[in-house]
Amino acid sequence: MEIRYKIMLYVAIAVFAVLFILTFIHFRRAKGKFKKGKKVANAFYVSQEPFFKRKMVAYKVLTFMMIMMCCLSIVMSCFMMSRPYRTETVVEENYTRDIFLCIDISSSVDSLNAHLIDELIGIVDEMKGERFGLIIFNTSPVLLVPLTDDYEYITDTLNKVKDELEQRWSGSYYGYSDYITVGTLIGSEFRGSSLIGDGLASAVFDFQDLDGEEERTKLVIFSTDNELNGTPFITLSEASDLCVKHNVQVYGVGIRDMNTKRRIEMREAMENTGGKFYEYGMSGDCKNIVADIERETKTYVNKEPVVKENEVVRAPFLVLLGCTAAMMVFTKLAKH
Protein backbone atom coordinates (compact mmCIF):
# COMPACT_ATOMS: atom_id res chain seq x y z
CA MET A 1 0.00 0.00 0.00
CA GLU A 2 1.19 3.49 -0.87
CA ILE A 3 0.26 6.95 0.41
CA ARG A 4 -0.51 9.79 -1.98
CA TYR A 5 -0.29 12.66 0.53
CA LYS A 6 2.14 11.57 3.26
CA ILE A 7 2.02 14.97 4.94
CA MET A 8 -1.45 14.12 6.25
CA LEU A 9 0.04 11.28 8.29
CA TYR A 10 2.39 13.75 9.96
CA VAL A 11 -0.59 16.03 10.61
CA ALA A 12 -2.44 13.09 12.18
CA ILE A 13 0.49 12.32 14.49
CA ALA A 14 0.80 16.00 15.47
CA VAL A 15 -2.93 16.35 16.16
CA PHE A 16 -2.98 13.14 18.17
CA ALA A 17 0.01 14.29 20.24
CA VAL A 18 -1.50 17.73 20.94
CA LEU A 19 -4.83 16.20 21.98
CA PHE A 20 -3.08 13.71 24.23
CA ILE A 21 -1.07 16.47 25.96
CA LEU A 22 -4.09 18.76 26.36
CA THR A 23 -6.16 15.91 27.79
CA PHE A 24 -3.39 14.99 30.23
CA ILE A 25 -3.02 18.64 31.34
CA HIS A 26 -6.78 19.00 31.75
CA PHE A 27 -7.12 15.96 33.98
CA ARG A 28 -4.01 16.98 35.93
CA ARG A 29 -5.39 20.43 36.71
CA ALA A 30 -8.90 19.24 37.35
CA LYS A 31 -7.85 16.65 39.93
CA GLY A 32 -9.33 17.46 43.32
CA LYS A 33 -11.13 20.60 42.10
CA PHE A 34 -14.85 21.09 42.21
CA LYS A 35 -16.23 23.22 39.41
CA LYS A 36 -19.87 22.20 39.40
CA GLY A 37 -22.41 20.94 41.90
CA LYS A 38 -22.40 21.21 45.67
CA LYS A 39 -19.82 19.95 48.15
CA VAL A 40 -21.03 17.23 50.50
CA ALA A 41 -19.40 16.58 53.85
CA ASN A 42 -18.61 13.16 55.19
CA ALA A 43 -18.95 11.43 51.80
CA PHE A 44 -16.24 8.93 52.74
CA TYR A 45 -18.73 6.19 53.60
CA VAL A 46 -20.55 6.64 50.27
CA SER A 47 -17.32 6.22 48.31
CA GLN A 48 -16.75 2.88 50.04
CA GLU A 49 -20.08 1.45 48.90
CA PRO A 50 -19.76 -1.36 46.28
CA PHE A 51 -22.46 0.25 44.11
CA PHE A 52 -20.61 3.56 44.09
CA LYS A 53 -17.31 1.84 43.26
CA ARG A 54 -18.88 -0.04 40.35
CA LYS A 55 -20.35 3.17 38.96
CA MET A 56 -17.04 5.02 39.23
CA VAL A 57 -15.15 2.20 37.52
CA ALA A 58 -17.75 2.12 34.73
CA TYR A 59 -17.59 5.91 34.37
CA LYS A 60 -13.79 5.95 34.12
CA VAL A 61 -13.76 3.08 31.62
CA LEU A 62 -16.42 4.71 29.45
CA THR A 63 -14.63 8.06 29.61
CA PHE A 64 -11.37 6.41 28.59
CA MET A 65 -13.11 4.58 25.73
CA MET A 66 -14.69 7.82 24.49
CA ILE A 67 -11.29 9.52 24.42
CA MET A 68 -9.78 6.56 22.55
CA MET A 69 -12.62 6.50 20.01
CA CYS A 70 -12.25 10.24 19.47
CA CYS A 71 -8.50 9.92 18.90
CA LEU A 72 -8.98 6.94 16.58
CA SER A 73 -11.59 8.89 14.60
CA ILE A 74 -9.16 11.75 14.08
CA VAL A 75 -6.41 9.35 13.01
CA MET A 76 -8.74 7.57 10.53
CA SER A 77 -9.90 10.92 9.12
CA CYS A 78 -6.33 12.04 8.50
CA PHE A 79 -5.47 8.62 7.11
CA MET A 80 -8.31 8.88 4.60
CA MET A 81 -7.21 12.39 3.63
CA SER A 82 -3.75 11.01 2.93
CA ARG A 83 -5.37 9.01 0.07
CA PRO A 84 -3.89 5.51 0.55
CA TYR A 85 -3.94 3.37 -2.59
CA ARG A 86 -2.73 0.09 -4.05
CA THR A 87 -1.09 -0.19 -7.45
CA GLU A 88 -1.87 -3.24 -9.54
CA THR A 89 -1.23 -4.23 -13.10
CA VAL A 90 -4.34 -5.49 -14.86
CA VAL A 91 -4.37 -7.23 -18.21
CA GLU A 92 -7.44 -5.91 -19.99
CA GLU A 93 -8.94 -7.88 -22.82
CA ASN A 94 -9.94 -5.59 -25.64
CA TYR A 95 -12.07 -7.44 -28.16
CA THR A 96 -11.39 -5.53 -31.35
CA ARG A 97 -14.32 -6.89 -33.32
CA ASP A 98 -16.76 -5.23 -35.66
CA ILE A 99 -19.99 -7.20 -35.84
CA PHE A 100 -22.92 -6.67 -38.21
CA LEU A 101 -26.20 -8.46 -37.79
CA CYS A 102 -27.62 -8.64 -41.31
CA ILE A 103 -31.14 -10.10 -41.39
CA ASP A 104 -33.53 -10.98 -44.17
CA ILE A 105 -36.69 -9.19 -43.14
CA SER A 106 -38.99 -11.46 -45.18
CA SER A 107 -41.91 -12.69 -43.06
CA SER A 108 -40.79 -16.31 -43.51
CA VAL A 109 -37.71 -15.57 -41.38
CA ASP A 110 -39.55 -13.74 -38.56
CA SER A 111 -39.40 -16.58 -36.02
CA LEU A 112 -35.69 -17.18 -36.59
CA ASN A 113 -34.85 -13.46 -36.46
CA ALA A 114 -36.81 -12.87 -33.23
CA HIS A 115 -35.00 -15.69 -31.43
CA LEU A 116 -31.62 -14.70 -32.87
CA ILE A 117 -32.00 -11.06 -31.81
CA ASP A 118 -33.10 -12.16 -28.33
CA GLU A 119 -29.84 -14.05 -27.84
CA LEU A 120 -27.73 -11.25 -29.34
CA ILE A 121 -29.13 -8.74 -26.84
CA GLY A 122 -27.42 -10.69 -24.06
CA ILE A 123 -24.13 -10.67 -26.00
CA VAL A 124 -24.31 -6.90 -26.59
CA ASP A 125 -24.72 -6.31 -22.83
CA GLU A 126 -21.34 -8.01 -22.26
CA MET A 127 -19.42 -6.28 -25.07
CA LYS A 128 -16.26 -4.35 -24.25
CA GLY A 129 -14.38 -2.41 -26.91
CA GLU A 130 -16.39 -3.92 -29.75
CA ARG A 131 -18.62 -2.24 -32.31
CA PHE A 132 -21.99 -3.57 -33.40
CA GLY A 133 -24.28 -2.69 -36.29
CA LEU A 134 -27.66 -3.79 -37.66
CA ILE A 135 -28.83 -4.12 -41.27
CA ILE A 136 -32.21 -5.34 -42.49
CA PHE A 137 -32.93 -6.14 -46.13
CA ASN A 138 -35.55 -7.45 -48.53
CA THR A 139 -35.41 -5.83 -51.95
CA SER A 140 -33.14 -3.07 -50.65
CA PRO A 141 -30.89 -3.03 -47.56
CA VAL A 142 -31.49 -0.52 -44.76
CA LEU A 143 -28.79 0.38 -42.22
CA LEU A 144 -30.66 0.66 -38.91
CA VAL A 145 -27.57 0.92 -36.69
CA PRO A 146 -24.15 1.86 -38.08
CA LEU A 147 -21.14 0.37 -36.32
CA THR A 148 -21.10 1.85 -32.83
CA ASP A 149 -20.13 1.02 -29.24
CA ASP A 150 -23.20 2.79 -27.85
CA TYR A 151 -24.53 -0.46 -26.41
CA GLU A 152 -27.64 1.09 -24.87
CA TYR A 153 -28.73 2.42 -28.27
CA ILE A 154 -27.98 -0.96 -29.89
CA THR A 155 -30.03 -2.84 -27.30
CA ASP A 156 -32.97 -0.45 -27.64
CA THR A 157 -33.00 -0.89 -31.43
CA LEU A 158 -32.71 -4.68 -31.22
CA ASN A 159 -35.61 -4.79 -28.74
CA LYS A 160 -37.73 -2.64 -31.02
CA VAL A 161 -37.04 -4.85 -34.05
CA LYS A 162 -37.70 -7.98 -31.98
CA ASP A 163 -41.08 -6.65 -30.81
CA GLU A 164 -42.11 -5.83 -34.38
CA LEU A 165 -41.04 -9.28 -35.60
CA GLU A 166 -42.93 -11.07 -32.83
CA GLN A 167 -46.11 -9.11 -33.52
CA ARG A 168 -45.95 -9.82 -37.24
CA TRP A 169 -45.03 -13.48 -36.68
CA SER A 170 -47.92 -14.03 -34.23
CA GLY A 171 -50.37 -12.30 -36.57
CA SER A 172 -51.10 -9.57 -34.01
CA TYR A 173 -51.09 -6.17 -35.67
CA TYR A 174 -51.99 -4.26 -32.52
CA GLY A 175 -49.28 -1.63 -32.15
CA TYR A 176 -47.52 -2.92 -35.25
CA SER A 177 -45.79 -0.35 -37.47
CA ASP A 178 -43.83 -0.39 -40.71
CA TYR A 179 -40.55 0.16 -38.80
CA ILE A 180 -39.03 -3.10 -40.09
CA THR A 181 -40.33 -2.82 -43.65
CA VAL A 182 -40.05 0.84 -44.63
CA GLY A 183 -37.24 1.31 -47.12
CA THR A 184 -36.64 -2.41 -47.63
CA LEU A 185 -39.15 -2.73 -50.50
CA ILE A 186 -37.87 0.13 -52.64
CA GLY A 187 -37.85 -1.08 -56.26
CA SER A 188 -39.68 -4.32 -55.46
CA GLU A 189 -42.10 -3.81 -58.33
CA PHE A 190 -39.18 -4.08 -60.77
CA ARG A 191 -36.59 -6.23 -59.00
CA GLY A 192 -38.64 -8.54 -56.78
CA SER A 193 -37.79 -9.39 -53.15
CA SER A 194 -35.43 -11.40 -50.92
CA LEU A 195 -32.32 -10.30 -52.81
CA ILE A 196 -29.91 -12.28 -50.63
CA GLY A 197 -26.61 -11.33 -52.28
CA ASP A 198 -27.44 -7.61 -52.21
CA GLY A 199 -28.12 -7.79 -48.47
CA LEU A 200 -24.79 -9.44 -47.67
CA ALA A 201 -22.83 -7.14 -50.00
CA SER A 202 -24.32 -4.08 -48.32
CA ALA A 203 -23.04 -5.34 -44.97
CA VAL A 204 -19.50 -5.57 -46.37
CA PHE A 205 -19.50 -1.96 -47.55
CA ASP A 206 -20.97 -0.68 -44.28
CA PHE A 207 -17.81 -1.60 -42.35
CA GLN A 208 -15.84 1.51 -41.43
CA ASP A 209 -12.40 1.95 -42.98
CA LEU A 210 -12.92 -1.28 -44.92
CA ASP A 211 -9.37 -1.72 -46.24
CA GLY A 212 -7.32 0.27 -43.74
CA GLU A 213 -8.17 -1.24 -40.35
CA GLU A 214 -6.89 -4.79 -40.70
CA GLU A 215 -6.32 -5.30 -36.97
CA ARG A 216 -10.06 -5.36 -36.29
CA THR A 217 -11.96 -8.58 -36.92
CA LYS A 218 -14.87 -8.06 -39.30
CA LEU A 219 -17.79 -10.37 -38.68
CA VAL A 220 -21.30 -10.70 -40.14
CA ILE A 221 -24.08 -12.77 -38.56
CA PHE A 222 -26.34 -13.40 -41.54
CA SER A 223 -29.89 -14.80 -41.23
CA THR A 224 -32.03 -15.68 -44.25
CA ASP A 225 -34.17 -18.36 -45.88
CA ASN A 226 -31.96 -18.02 -49.01
CA GLU A 227 -35.07 -18.00 -51.18
CA LEU A 228 -34.39 -15.58 -54.03
CA ASN A 229 -37.53 -13.97 -55.53
CA GLY A 230 -36.11 -11.38 -57.88
CA THR A 231 -33.12 -10.10 -59.80
CA PRO A 232 -30.22 -9.09 -57.56
CA PHE A 233 -27.32 -6.84 -58.47
CA ILE A 234 -24.96 -9.43 -56.98
CA THR A 235 -25.42 -13.13 -56.24
CA LEU A 236 -24.77 -14.77 -52.88
CA SER A 237 -21.65 -16.45 -54.30
CA GLU A 238 -20.31 -13.13 -55.59
CA ALA A 239 -21.11 -11.47 -52.24
CA SER A 240 -19.17 -14.27 -50.54
CA ASP A 241 -16.11 -13.56 -52.72
CA LEU A 242 -16.47 -9.88 -51.84
CA CYS A 243 -16.31 -10.82 -48.15
CA VAL A 244 -13.13 -12.82 -48.75
CA LYS A 245 -11.56 -9.86 -50.56
CA HIS A 246 -12.17 -7.55 -47.58
CA ASN A 247 -11.45 -10.11 -44.80
CA VAL A 248 -15.04 -10.36 -43.61
CA GLN A 249 -16.14 -13.61 -41.95
CA VAL A 250 -19.78 -14.57 -42.31
CA TYR A 251 -21.73 -16.85 -40.00
CA GLY A 252 -25.01 -17.74 -41.67
CA VAL A 253 -28.16 -18.97 -39.94
CA GLY A 254 -30.86 -20.46 -42.16
CA ILE A 255 -34.43 -21.54 -41.49
CA ARG A 256 -35.23 -25.19 -40.78
CA ASP A 257 -37.24 -26.02 -43.92
CA MET A 258 -34.60 -24.77 -46.36
CA ASN A 259 -34.38 -27.13 -49.35
CA THR A 260 -31.19 -29.01 -50.19
CA LYS A 261 -30.08 -26.76 -53.04
CA ARG A 262 -30.39 -23.54 -51.05
CA ARG A 263 -28.78 -25.15 -48.01
CA ILE A 264 -25.74 -26.27 -49.97
CA GLU A 265 -25.44 -22.88 -51.68
CA MET A 266 -25.55 -21.00 -48.40
CA ARG A 267 -23.16 -23.39 -46.66
CA GLU A 268 -20.56 -23.02 -49.43
CA ALA A 269 -20.88 -19.24 -49.38
CA MET A 270 -20.41 -19.05 -45.59
CA GLU A 271 -17.49 -21.48 -45.46
CA ASN A 272 -15.83 -19.63 -48.34
CA THR A 273 -15.47 -16.60 -46.01
CA GLY A 274 -13.98 -18.69 -43.20
CA GLY A 275 -17.26 -18.70 -41.33
CA LYS A 276 -19.92 -21.35 -40.72
CA PHE A 277 -23.45 -22.26 -41.70
CA TYR A 278 -26.10 -23.14 -39.12
CA GLU A 279 -29.59 -24.44 -39.74
CA TYR A 280 -31.95 -23.23 -37.03
CA GLY A 281 -33.46 -26.20 -35.22
CA MET A 282 -31.07 -28.68 -36.86
CA SER A 283 -27.57 -27.37 -36.05
CA GLY A 284 -28.92 -26.10 -32.72
CA ASP A 285 -31.13 -23.37 -31.30
CA CYS A 286 -30.23 -19.69 -31.50
CA LYS A 287 -28.74 -19.70 -28.00
CA ASN A 288 -26.21 -22.39 -28.89
CA ILE A 289 -25.52 -20.90 -32.32
CA VAL A 290 -24.76 -17.45 -30.89
CA ALA A 291 -22.65 -18.97 -28.08
CA ASP A 292 -20.66 -20.91 -30.70
CA ILE A 293 -20.06 -17.80 -32.81
CA GLU A 294 -19.11 -15.79 -29.73
CA ARG A 295 -16.66 -18.45 -28.56
CA GLU A 296 -14.95 -18.85 -31.94
CA THR A 297 -14.60 -15.18 -32.80
CA LYS A 298 -13.52 -14.01 -29.32
CA THR A 299 -10.09 -15.50 -29.90
CA TYR A 300 -9.20 -12.24 -31.63
CA VAL A 301 -8.15 -10.15 -28.64
CA ASN A 302 -5.52 -7.60 -27.76
CA LYS A 303 -4.22 -7.94 -24.23
CA GLU A 304 -2.68 -4.74 -22.93
CA PRO A 305 -1.30 -4.39 -19.37
CA VAL A 306 -2.78 -1.40 -17.59
CA VAL A 307 -1.52 0.01 -14.29
CA LYS A 308 -4.42 0.92 -12.02
CA GLU A 309 -4.42 2.78 -8.72
CA ASN A 310 -7.20 1.60 -6.39
CA GLU A 311 -7.79 3.80 -3.38
CA VAL A 312 -7.99 1.99 -0.03
CA VAL A 313 -10.67 3.96 1.80
CA ARG A 314 -13.33 1.40 2.61
CA ALA A 315 -11.71 -0.07 5.72
CA PRO A 316 -10.73 3.27 7.36
CA PHE A 317 -14.19 4.67 6.57
CA LEU A 318 -15.87 1.71 8.29
CA VAL A 319 -13.56 2.17 11.31
CA LEU A 320 -14.43 5.90 11.41
CA LEU A 321 -18.14 5.06 11.22
CA GLY A 322 -17.77 2.50 14.00
CA CYS A 323 -15.88 4.96 16.21
CA THR A 324 -18.57 7.60 15.79
CA ALA A 325 -21.31 5.13 16.68
CA ALA A 326 -19.30 3.86 19.67
CA MET A 327 -18.78 7.42 21.01
CA MET A 328 -22.55 8.01 20.90
CA VAL A 329 -23.19 4.77 22.79
CA PHE A 330 -20.46 5.43 25.41
CA THR A 331 -21.74 8.97 25.97
CA LYS A 332 -25.24 7.63 26.57
CA LEU A 333 -23.99 4.99 28.99
CA ALA A 334 -21.72 7.42 30.87
CA LYS A 335 -24.68 9.70 31.66
CA HIS A 336 -26.39 6.84 33.45
List, for residues 128-166, the tens digit of each pLDDT value. 778 889 999 888 889 999 998 888 999 999 998 888 888
The dihedrals phi and psi of 199, each to the nearest 5 degrees, come to -65, -45
Q: Are 62 and 101 found together in one domain?
A: no
Residues written for the chain: 336
What is the distance of C-alpha 153 from the center of its chain? 14
Q: Are 179 and 295 found together in one domain?
A: yes
Q: Are 100 and 83 found together in one domain?
A: no
The dihedrals phi and psi of 53, each to the nearest 5 degrees, come to -65, -45
Q: List, for residues 84-102, the tens digit of each pLDDT value.
A: 777 777 666 666 788 899 9
Collapsed DSSP state (helix, strand, coil) of residue 103: strand
Q: Are 129 and 60 found together in one domain?
A: no
**Residue 187 domain boundaries:** 96-300
Q: Are 277 and 147 found together in one domain?
A: yes
Q: Are 145 and 215 found together in one domain?
A: yes
36 found inside a domain: no
**Mean pLDDT value of segment 48-72:** 77
Dist CA 139 CA 229 (whole Å) = 9
The one-letter amino acid code at 284 reads G
12 found inside a domain: yes
Question: Radius of gyration of the chain from Cα atoms?
Answer: 36
Q: Are 52 and 195 found together in one domain?
A: no
**Mean pLDDT value of segment 294-322:** 73
Taking 3-state DSSP, the helix, strand and coil percentages for the chain, each rounded to the nearest 5, stand at 50, 20, 30
Sign (positive or negative) of CA dihedral 81, 87, 91, 96: positive
Whether residue 43 has pLDDT greater than 70: no
Q: Are 132 and 190 found together in one domain?
A: yes
Please state the pTM of the whole predicted model.
Answer: 0.62
Dist CA 193 CA 62 (whole Å) = 86
Q: Are 162 and 144 found together in one domain?
A: yes
Q: Are 129 and 170 found together in one domain?
A: yes
Q: List, for residues 178-219, the tens digit of each pLDDT value.
A: 778 888 888 778 887 888 899 999 999 888 776 665 577 888
The dihedrals phi and psi of 71, each to the nearest 5 degrees, come to -65, -40
3-class SS string, 77-98: HHHHHCCEEEEEEEEEEECCEE
